């Protein structure tokens, strides 16, 4: 089977991300990236959409991927509001005009799309809990409009119904993670044709981890699977992305885990391929 990894980070190795960043701190360690591309090929991955890093690792991977038979797309770096989650994978902006400058930089460096961090991450302390901060819903439309105006599709890290709705109403192209949706979010996904990439493997990777409240990852996952069942009924586009390289998500075979989890949530391989194809077709510059 040929797999599309619709959400990965080639710089991460499935363990502690700080060590992964440290490795490339003084320049991309090319052998490591080449080895990982080789492992992706062995795992059957033919398409990879990278959610970015700050060290040029995904840019190097893109330059090498063809040799490994992988169609590679990357935002190069993510973007986030200062003091908000996202510093690991990108650059901060304070104002919309700073964001415009980052978009121009992405264009100059030939990014394939823009990655925008809209909310915090799951805190795994209580069901539905998110780390603080995030864009105000009213800040979101202008940013998406700027990126679209420059010819980019927008991939957004976003959890929580209120922000997901605001982003979809503003024309967001793909919802990454998308935890704690409600029915209105699903209807908006269907109406706008945006794609949901639930990254179930990354959440499953938190199950049983020390330092987090036991059972919360499982509860969050159950809720996402319930929403996925309804998404299927509505005909929402859902794509497979494992957040490859995140903690407990193997950088090469994370996508296999994701497919198993999506199947358990009731999605057929054909359902997933429809979402995967939409991602692959749209997330190119000018696409
Ligand atoms: Zn990610």
Dump pLDDT digits (tens) for 116-160: 999 988 888 988 999 887 999 999 999 999 999 999 999 999 999
Which of 88, 112, 92, 110 is CA-nearest to residue 102?
A: 92
Q: At what angle do helices 161-169 and 140-149 cross, to 10 degrees?
A: 40
Which of 183, 171, 181, 114 is CA-nearest to residue 141?
A: 171
Sheet strand arrangement including 45-50: 3-8, 45-50, 71-74
Statement: residue 18 has pLDDT above 90: no
Residue 249 Rama label (left phi>0; alpha psi -120 to 50; beta) = beta
Q: How far away, in angstroms, is 232 Cα from ligand 1 center?
A: 23
Report how far residue 106's alpha carbon sits from residue 87's, in angstroms, rounded to the nearest whole number.
16
Q: Which chain residues have CB less than 5 Å from ligand 1, an ion?
A: 51, 243
In the chain, % of residues over pLDDT 70? 100
Q: How far away, in angstroms, is 252 Cα from ligand 1 center?
A: 14
Structural domains in the chain, CATH included, are 3-282 (3.20.20.140)
Dump pLDDT digits (tens) for 168-180: 999 999 999 999 9
Asked whether 134 and 84 are in contact (CB, 8 A), the reply is yes
Q: How far away, in angstroms, is 157 Cα from ligand 1 center?
A: 7
Q: How far away, in angstroms, is 242 Cα from ligand 1 center?
A: 8
Quote the pLDDT of residue 281: 98
Q: How far away, in angstroms, is 8 Cα from ligand 1 center?
A: 6
Dump pLDDT digits (tens) for 57-103: 999 999 999 999 999 999 999 999 998 888 788 999 999 999 999 99
Mean pLDDT of all residues belonging to the chain: 95
Q: How far away, in angstroms, is 7 Cα from ligand 1 center?
A: 6
Statement: residue 36 has pLDDT above 90: yes
Q: How far away, in angstroms, is 42 Cα from ligand 1 center?
A: 22
Q: How far away, in angstroms, is 170 Cα from ligand 1 center?
A: 21
Q: How far away, in angstroms, is 192 Cα from ligand 1 center?
A: 23
Q: How far away, in angstroms, is 93 Cα from ligand 1 center?
A: 19
- The band of 19, judged by pLDDT with boundaries at 50, 70 and 90, is confident
Kindly state the DSSP code that residue 90 receives in the 8-state scheme: E
Q: How far away, in angstroms, is 238 Cα from ligand 1 center?
A: 16
Q: How far away, in angstroms, is 56 Cα from ligand 1 center?
A: 16
Q: How far away, in angstroms, is 30 Cα from ligand 1 center?
A: 21
Dump pLDDT digits (tens) for 215-228: 999 999 999 999 99
Q: How far away, in angstroms, is 89 Cα from ligand 1 center?
A: 8
Q: How far away, in angstroms, is 254 Cα from ligand 1 center?
A: 12
Q: How far away, in angstroms, is 246 Cα from ligand 1 center?
A: 7
Q: How far away, in angstroms, is 255 Cα from ligand 1 center?
A: 13
Q: How far away, in angstroms, is 201 Cα from ligand 1 center?
A: 11
């Amino acid at each position: 089977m040929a797999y599309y990894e619709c959400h990965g980070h080639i710089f991460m190795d499935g363990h502690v991300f700080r060590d992964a960043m440290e490795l490339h701190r003084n320049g991309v360690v090319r052998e490591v990236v080449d080895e990982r591309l080789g492992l992706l090929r062995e795992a059957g991955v033919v398409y990879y959409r990278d959610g970015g890093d700050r060290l040029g690792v995904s840019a190097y991977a893109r330059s090498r991927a063809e040799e490994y038979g992988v169609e590679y797309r990357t935002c190069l770096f993510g973007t986030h509001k200062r003091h908000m989650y996202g510093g690991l994978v990108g650059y901060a902006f304070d104002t919309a005009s700073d964001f415009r400058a980052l978009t121009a930089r992405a264009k100059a460096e030939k990014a394939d799309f823009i990655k925008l961090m809209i909310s915090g991450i799951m805190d795994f302390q209580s069901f539905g809990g998110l780390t603080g901060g995030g864009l105000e819903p009213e800040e979101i439309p202008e940013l998406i409009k700027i990126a679209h105006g420059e010819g980019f599709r927008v991939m957004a890290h976003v959890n929580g119904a209120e922000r997901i709705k605001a982003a979809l109403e503003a024309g967001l192209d793909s919802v990454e993670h998308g935890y704690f949706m409600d029915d209105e979010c699903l209807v908006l996904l269907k109406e706008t044709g945006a794609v949901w990439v639930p990254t179930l493997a990354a959440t499953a990777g938190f199950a049983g981890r020390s330092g987090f409240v036991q059972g919360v990852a499982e509860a969050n996952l159950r809720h996402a699977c319930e929403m996925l069942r309804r998404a299927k009924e509505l005909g929402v586009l859902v794509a497979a992305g494992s957040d490859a390289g995140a903690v407990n998500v193997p950088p090469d075979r994370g996508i296999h885990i994701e497919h198993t989890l999506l199947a358990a949530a009731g999605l057929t391989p054909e359902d997933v391929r429809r979402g995967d194809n939409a991602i692959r077709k749209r997330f190119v510059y000018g696409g």
